[in-house]
Structure 1
Amino acid sequence: MSRFISRRPRPSALRTRTAVVAAGLGAVTVLGTGAAIAAETGTAVSKPAVVTSTANAVAAQAQAQSQAAAKTVAVQKAAAAKKAAAKKAAVKPVAVKKAASAWTKPVSQYVVSATYGNAGNMWASKHSGQDFAVPTGTVVKSVGPGTVVKAGPNGAGDGPAYGNAVVVKHDGNTYSQYAHLSRVDVKIGQKVQGGQQIALSGNTGNSSGPHLHFEIRTTPNYGSAINPVSYLRSQGVTL
């Protein structure tokens, strides 16, 4: 006769399995119930805590980036303003050049050998002009803008004592005369500017040595001379 051995589970093991099954059913029941309640009421089931933490981190990062961008813009604006201020400060006012005088000396370098109004044996009356001792061939310039009204030998019509001479008419019925020239470089009717070469100095006519005889006149002719130093000073030129 064979034996039949019955293998019944032990009471302790049976109780353990029953508890596990019950716990699982309870969890399913609870989850199912929650889902059902959410479906019926239209309320969302709470998201896991990890999702909320991620959203907060993204928001914080976005805020930090926005603040950094604003700070960068402010720094750039400040730098641009500083650069503009420095550029403005570096700009210097343009110096206005003073217009060159239209009047000048008849010769650049000289020694005064006789002045206006001097008395002496060399003149029938007082000296009518200013004498500048210069070497023969020195450039003689018109003292101001004007028109040549006399030019040539025999004092350009004023007599042989002046030798070769030139007379220039200026504005205001004023005339300048240049005498004892070795060469005349202009002709009657020619317009000249102040500082323009009109002749070369010499020793022609009634002259005791190479020099330029210079007069300022109120007419083109001999006998109307005025003080040339005073007149040129009124034009900004000092002899």
Structure 2
Amino acid sequence: MSKRVTSRKSLTSKVRTRAAVLAVGMGATVALGAGVATAAETGLNSGTVTAANAVQTQAAAQAKAAAVKKATAVKVAAAKKTAAKKTAASWVDPVKKYTLSASFNQAGGMWSHKHSGQDYAVPIGTDVVAAHGGTVVKAGGNGAGDGPAYGNAVVIKHANGTYSQYAHLSRVDVRIGQVVATGQHIALSGNTGNSSGPHLHFEIRTTPNYGSAVNPVAFLNSKGVKV
């Protein structure tokens, strides 16, 4: 009787031990599965965050590129506008601080025909500048070849096919063939030739010679110069 009781107790103990081991194993499996699931979820979340960051980075780069492109376009437009203004104002008055006297096409006893230019009343020795850049094609006395009535004179050829003439000068400071810039000094005003008083006679011509003059004031106004 004693031996049977002992055997039953031993069997019961073994069963309980196996059950405990099984329970522990199941718990470890559950814990491991949960760990694996958590790790997988963490990896998924990490991948999602990385992808989102990549999208944001690309979007930021595209936005920056667009901003740079826009800024460049604005700068180019501003540069073109500035260049256009400079081109429009690339003509200047041949003298400063003047009083307008005889005008274009004005009739009078001073001229055999109507007046061929615009007179700027200024003191003798006033600085005379090129109204626009170009090449000197005439320079000297006798109207630089246009006759003694002009006194000392200069004629400049411009790239747009027009010519400017400066007459009654007291001194000529350029030579034929010389290239001059807009606003560059070319002579001093005077009272030479057929002149009623100190002034600069200014013409815009379609050729270098007398007889091809157009209204110089209207021409300068069209170039942005208010005479």
More helix by share: 2
SS in 1 for 2:60: helix
Query: Which residue does the alignment assign to 2:94?
Result: 107
- Counterpart CA distance in 2 for 1:30 and 1:52 is 20
1:83 to 60, 76, 85: 60
Q: How does 1:1-239 map to 2 (within 5 A)?
A: 15=2, 19-25=5-11, 27=13, 48-87=25-64, 88-89=66-67, 91-92=70-71, 93=73, 94-95=76-77, 96-97=79-80, 98-99=83-84, 100-101=86-87, 104-107=91-94, 109=96, 110-170=98-158, 174-232=162-220, 239=227
Q: Percent identity?
A: 52
| In structure 2, distance between residues paired with 1:190 and 1:232 | 23
Q: Superposition RMSD on alpha carbons, in Å?
A: 3.7
Residue by residue over 1:33-86, the C-alpha shift from the partner in whole angstroms, topping out at 9 and shown as x without a partner, is xxxxxxxxxxxx997112212212221221221232133224313432442353
Moved more, 133-142 or 109-118: 133-142
- Please state whether the residue corresponding to 2:87 is helix, strand or coil: coil
Q: For 1:52, what is the secondary structure of its paired residue?
A: helix
**TM-score of the pair, normalised by structure 2:** 0.71
Structure 2 gap segments, 5+ residues each: none
Query: Closer, same or farther in 2 for the Cα pair 1:23/1:182, shift >3 Å?
Result: farther
Q: Report the residue type matching 2:5 in the other structure.
A: A
Deviations 1:161-220 (A, max 9, x none): 323211123468643210122332210122334444322333434434443211133443
Farther-moved stretch of structure 1 (114-123 vs 206-215): 206-215
Contact 1:116 1:129 in 2 (8 A): yes
Q: Distance in 1 between matches of 2:188 and 2:10?
A: 132
Contact 1:181–1:200 under 8 Å retained in 2: yes
By how many angstroms is 1:132 displaced? 1.9
Contact 1:185 1:199 in 2 (8 A): yes
**Structure 1, unpaired ranges of 5+:** 1-13, 33-44
2:35 & 2:41 partners in 1: Cα distance?
Answer: 10
Question: How far, CA to CA, are the matches of 1:67 and 1:86 in structure 2?
Answer: 29
Q: 1:231 deviation in Å? A: 4.7
| CA–CA separation in structure 1 for the residues paired with 2:123 and 2:49 | 77
TM-score when normalising by structure 1: 0.68
Conserved 8 A contact 1:180-1:212: yes
Question: Is the partner of 1:114 in helix, strand or coil?
Answer: coil
Checking the alignment, whether the CA contact within 8 Å between 1:101 and 1:236 is kept in structure 2 is no
2: CA distance, partners of 1:83 / 1:203: 72
Which is higher, the Rg of structure 1 or of structure 2? 1
